[in-house]
Structure 1
Amino acid sequence: MNGIPTKDEMRQALDNRNGRNLQDKFARATVAICGLGGLGSNIAVSLARAGVGKLILIDFDEVDITNLHRQQYKASQIGCFKTKALADNLKEISPYLAITTYTQRIDENNFQELLQGADIICEAFDVAEAKALLVNGVLEKMPEKYLIAASGMAGIDSANNIHTRRVTNCFYLCGDEVSDVADNIGLFSSRVMLCAAHQAHMVLRILGGKFEV
């Protein structure tokens, strides 16, 4: 006996909390998370807890000691690929979650193949060039896909400045849209998690048929 609830028990608990109709929409969804750092790892945890059916996790990097203050990894996972480490952690939270991992860098030649199975795409990179490549590529080549990106979560400024803005019908932007780690402003776990929570919550709202104006 390991104490892990059955799949039906876990689903019933979510149905009781969120309602069966809404939970059905979550369970049928596939969400891609591009970048598994402070934003991506926290997005993934929130979506796993909400009962989203499948996550596509994409990152080429390994867990480093500098990641531990804001990312959903353990000290014992230093040196492991983030895709493997995060998948292991998510399975402890949501044992029946379907996960596909790609331990590679997204580029202009592979992003369509990697993301074609996703209903919603979360951009969670920490490098401006990677953000631009993904956002511009999806908007140009995959305009039917919902895309939730992030801009501005560094520093210790007010949490109230983090917001979600609908840019186009399928494109949303979360963050304060101002702060930048390039300005030597530190990344604090609390503020990064706030932005990640905005992204994750927007995923759930879209799946539930709720859209920002």
Structure 2
Amino acid sequence: MNQIPTKEEMTAALQARIGVPLQQTFQKSTVAVCGLGGLGSHIAYALARAGVGTLILIDFDTVDLSNLNRQQYGVSQLGQPKAAALADGIREAAPYVVTIPHAVRLTRENIPALVRDADVICEAFDQPDEKSMLVDTVLETFPEKYIVAASGMAGLSGANSIKTRRITKRFYLCGDGVSDVADDIGLVCPRVMLCAAHQAQAVLRILAGQFDV
């Protein structure tokens, strides 16, 4: 009962669910998730379970008690670097996904080297200045790459206000576009997960060649 399935077995199970062409497309893809908190940790798990072959996981922070109400970490991981802790967790769910953890803070200077191998980049930060820095740097440095960002997922507003919008040809934005992490009660797990799911789904659609209008 505790035996880890082989790579062939897990591949066959995924192919039975989504088909061989799509599984192969996802498997050969690389996605960078920048920020591994409430958004990024859920995005990474969703992409790993969908069969994305390589995940670049970037976050300078460590797991804190305040993270556990909305992020994909457990109490045994308190104090660990988020990048390494998330990679460990993903190996439990999808052991053959390649994870490349980087416990560093992103800057305009190091972004190009860290995300150059990614087909799609996910922006999953809390702070507006970090969000704009990553989006601007990626769009300026890699005009051929896609970036999926988030804006607005705080509070207890209705779930249906979370949307995915295609801002430009290669820039997608998910969220309600209004709420801020400092508003009302701040971030709660279900709404953050909704926005993360939008981002992960946008990534999968891009990889599959299914683009929003």
CA contact (8 A) 2:34 2:58 kept: yes
Q: CA deviation at 1:2?
A: 3.6
Matched, 1:11 2:16: no
Which secondary structure state, in structure 2, belongs to the residue aligned with residue 52 of structure 1? coil
- 1:29 maps to 2:29: yes
3-state DSSP of counterpart to 2:126: coil
CA distance in 2, matches of 1:126, 1:206: 24
- Post-superposition offset of 1:201: 0.5
Once the two structures are superposed, the pairs formed by residues 1-213 of structure 1 within 5 Å of their partners are 2-213=2-213
Shift of 1:169: 0.6
Deviations 1:103-141 (A, max 9, x none): 100001100000100000000001111111101111111
**In the TM superposition, what is the alpha-carbon distance from 1:3 to its structure 2 partner?**
1.5
Deviating above 6 A after TM superposition, structure 1's stretches of 4 or more consecutive aligned residues are: none
Structure 1 vs Structure 2 CA RMSD: 0.9
2:184 and 2:158 map into 1 onto residues whose CA distance is 17
How much has 1:186 moved relative to structure 2? 1.6
Query: Whole-Å Cα distance in 1 between the matches of residues 127 and 162 of structure 2?
Result: 19
Structure 1: 5+ residue stretches without partners: none
What is the TM-score normalised by the length of structure 1?
Answer: 0.98
Alignment: residue pair count: 213
Query: How far apart in 2 are the matches of 1:38 and 1:26?
Result: 23
Cα offset, 1:185, TM superposition: 3.7
Identity %: 61
Question: TM-score w.r.t. structure 2 length?
Answer: 0.98
